[in-house]
A and B are shown apart, each in its own frame.
Chain A
């Protein structure tokens, strides 16, 4: 093992700049001649635009320009696109109503973009935006997910009759019906997966600059995937040719999915900076973030499990209505379909699964991927239903899981819902988690709590997720318009230090450290001589970015492949320099050695030699700099068991998490300290969904929870310290043996928390978030 290589909890290289206030986030960047933009947003959820009066705004102090959708359309810019096609049950592609970046005659949610006001100062832009007068013809709003497609509902888009985007069936309906007909027992559960706002603490921002000399647009923006932004903005939105568009995403203050998507503000600011020939900056405030960032989750589901007399799962049937919001966001169609129903097998051998997902439009902000994206919804449905089935069968929740787990020798395991799992040992993770949580001692703890008038509960969740989001062949078959490889370049400078260019992009995951650990392990260069460069399309050749826990599983492998190419090239150079046959050169610990001798060159010496090729033969190419792409054969499938223990005060309904234990299989860990941090954050995100977070629109489509005053984010006193361990397996499809860890906590936690609460209360179900009021009511009913 290299000193700071794979498996070492190396302190992060990026931390110092953040700790001394020298981080460089988009809003920290200011340029000469910069103007400020404010978006005029719809105050109504659903309305026609009968007219817009701009004169007062245009003549307001400091105003540079005011533009509306007509100006954007006149220049042929937009509309925004969705990247993944889902085929509806009529054989047609999903219904895709136009998504203009600035409204065209109609607004469809509160916060929808009507106009952009650009002024010399932010205050002047705000003042002028107040003076834009819009004549709205208010229409009834559709906000409720479950009834959005009902007969007689207000229609939102002409292109989407009954407000339906798609009806997507999966599985053998008749076979599942037959299994239900002959089942010993059928367990049923209706549930809601609560709508969340992703809320990275850095709000979105974009700074656009146009160079009249080079005719290049540069957008500094908050993105998890700068090359994807460039591709979509150029190929689909006609902002600029791809080679004349540079995207720079500097330090990104959290993403969790919300900064994947190509947003209206980014396109409009990019277009406007060329139009006014001045730099234009827009920074979201928090309420704008609530209104216009893509939201997450928002499902209404009915689920049923057919069981035999031994508690074995015979068949699963799931009917879900998923809210897509007013328009389809960049990956809006993919989240409640492929990222959701393909995970319905969970950790179990359920042989037959049938599901239908009805995706509906409503007059709410677009809904898209948010930490976990589809997989938390699948896991919550399944792990709650399994607990209900356990109660119905009179089995312990642990026992019913054990009886249905996919056995360790069954991998790779083909599920009935498309995915083929790479590896897993679900019993091992469960056993470890039970020990960590002292599951056997729970009864005594519950008795003790009772003497204090408290209700104690314990709940578990055994999840599996699909990570390392790729492979291109699979997503292409499913209707994705893009490939999902990753790319890397590893470049030695003549003085022996290394620059690693990656298409992955960190929004807090610590890539500058973990990727450097990988390179020090493979090439033997000291970690302090390795710099990871990301987030700039002018620096990194290509990339697909960071989401779906793919950075190490896909991007890391691309880096490793570039390192392999460097070693192969280095052998040629060393052979030439040492006057040996290439086949006699061995590479280990940063040195090229003639086998069986002590004649050697360090990799730094080889690098120098490669750039000073004074006597190279014709077939030896100078330079020490290699590119690689990696496109995996399969997703990776992390899994594990999380156990939550809660104590409830029946007098107040307040839930306290006493202990939280998580045992995960992420394959090999590159930096255990960083992995553990990802798990902590994911669990807390999941606890937020389970106990606190609810994005709520009223019946008129007003967002009631549009600030941190009204939307409860998890805070330090809402969670305990966590007990984390691992039960790793070796995924055969991943060359580095890694699986991905960024989303596991957010996937495993919600059902673990709710299962603990229902256990404490002795009730069948409680919807998230389990607020004190809901819990108190349930406690009163149960008492």
Chain B
């Protein structure tokens, strides 16, 4: 079985995986980083979004071996000790989550949206950019507010 190496949330990790192992399986089952979730198997729901070399990726649709030698960031890597990342804080302040299952993917996608669109986001842009992440609880209203507030806070 192939042996792979990557940095996850800044820490060097390695593991022996079957070639068919998905990145999300490696993160969840081998590294026990269970903050990244699986909500579907067709790249639709976005619960599994992580960043690979700074780009947002649906980790259910990428083989673990494809992330060999890459820099991977998951939801577990965002907070600075007990201090939440501004985007995480914005989700809390704006009630941008209910059951919490889609939340890690939402936050990781939100960071990618800010990366590509800047800190001053309008509602239409946020809604369009979030279509790759499905939430059944919130009706998106407060997620949109959270992303807008989080983006602004990241610029401060």
Contacts and interface: CB of A to CB of B under 8 A. Distances in A.
A22 B35 contact: yes
6 contacts: A17-B100, A19-B91, A23-B100, A674-B95, A684-B138, A716-B140
A591 B102 CA distance: 42
A708 interface: yes
Contacts of A717: 127-128, 130-131
B144 A202 contact: no
Interface in A651-710: 673-674, 676-677, 679-685, 707-709
Contact of A11 (B40, B93, B104, B127): B93
B34 interface: yes
Interface string B30-45: 0011111111111011
Contact of B37 (A25, A30, A507): A25
A202 B35 contact: no
A677 B138 contact: yes
Interface string B107-122: 1000000000000000
Contact of A683 (B78, B139, B143): B139
A507 to B, nearest CB: 6
B95 A254 contact: no
Interface residues of B, number: 57
B102 A681 contact: no
Contact of B99 (A11, A201, A676, A679): A201
Interface centre among B35, B38, B99, B138 (most CB of A within 10 A): B99
Nearest 7 A/B pairs, CB to CB: A21-B35, A18-B100, A253-B101, A508-B99, A684-B139, A680-B139, A708-B44
A225 B71 CA distance: 41
Contact of B34 (A14, A21, A510, A708): A21
Contacts of A713: 44, 134, 136
A556 B34 CA distance: 32
Contacts of B98: 254, 508-510, 677, 681
A24 B35 CA distance: 9
A753 to B, nearest CB: 14
A716 B127 CA distance: 5
B144 to A, nearest CB: 7
B88 A508 contact: no
Interface in A1-56: 11-12, 14-25, 27-28, 30
B69 interface: no
A203 B88 contact: no
B99 A21 contact: no
Given A123-B18, A201-B47, A708-B44, A719 B99 contact: no
A25 B42 contact: no
Contacts of A708: 40, 42, 44-45, 134
A20 B137 contact: no
A417 B39 CA distance: 41
Given A509-B98, A680-B141, A684-B140, A715 B79 contact: no
Nearest to B102: A201
A440 B42 CA distance: 45
Interface in B130-156: 130-131, 133-145
Interface centre among B44, B74, B139 (most CB of A within 10 A): B139
B84 interface: yes
B92 interface: yes
Contacts of B78: 20
A122 B85 CA distance: 35
Interface in B42-57: 42, 44-45, 47
A200 B136 contact: yes
B144 A123 contact: no
Contacts of A20: 35, 75-76, 78-79, 84, 88
**Mostly helix, strand, loop or mixed at chain B's interface?**
loop
Nearest to B29: A30
B140 A719 contact: yes
A334 interface: no
Given A507-B99, A677-B139, A680-B138, 19 more contacts: A11-B93, A22-B76, A23-B101, A28-B28, A201-B134, A201-B135, A203-B38, A252-B99, A286-B42, A286-B45, A681-B136, A707-B41, A707-B42, A708-B44, A714-B139, A716-B140, A716-B143, A717-B131, A721-B141
A731 interface: no
B94 to A, nearest CB: 9
B41 A286 contact: yes
Interface residues of A, number: 58
Contacts of A14: 100
A199 B45 CA distance: 11
A709 B134 CA distance: 12
A545 to B, nearest CB: 15
A722 interface: yes
Interface centre among B45, B75, B93, B95 (most CB of A within 10 A): B95
Given A681-B137, A708-B42, A253 B130 contact: no
Contacts of A19: 75, 79, 84, 88, 91-92, 97, 100, 103, 107
Nearest to A29: B34
A251 interface: yes
B134 to A, nearest CB: 5
Contacts of A25: 34, 37, 101
B100 A251 contact: yes
A302 interface: no
A258 to B, nearest CB: 10
A691 to B, nearest CB: 14
B144 A716 contact: yes
Nearest to B132: A715
B71 to A, nearest CB: 18
Given A20-B79, A286-B39, A15 B92 contact: yes
Nearest to B99: A508
A200 B39 CA distance: 9
Given A16-B84, A21-B75, A201 B136 contact: yes
A709 B107 contact: no
B91 to A, nearest CB: 6
A354 interface: no
Contact of B136 (A12, A21, A254, A716): A254
Nearest to B47: A201
Interface string A253-274: 1101000000000000000000
A589 interface: no
Nearest to B21: A123
Nearest to A255: B99
Interface in A280-297: 285-287
B123 interface: yes
Interface centre among A25, A200, A708 (most CB of B within 10 A): A708
Interface string A487-510: 000000000000000000001111
A709 B44 contact: yes
A745 interface: yes
Interface in A200-225: 200-203
A464 to B, nearest CB: 22
A716 B96 CA distance: 13
Contact of B144 (A18, A679, A721): A721
Interface in B64-80: 74-76, 78-79
A19 B92 CA distance: 8
A697 to B, nearest CB: 19
Contacts of A679: 139
Nearest to B93: A11
A203 B38 CA distance: 8
A547 to B, nearest CB: 15
A499 B83 CA distance: 26
A510 B138 CA distance: 12
A683 B139 CA distance: 7
A684 to B, nearest CB: 3
B99 A722 contact: no
Contacts of A715: 130-131, 134, 140
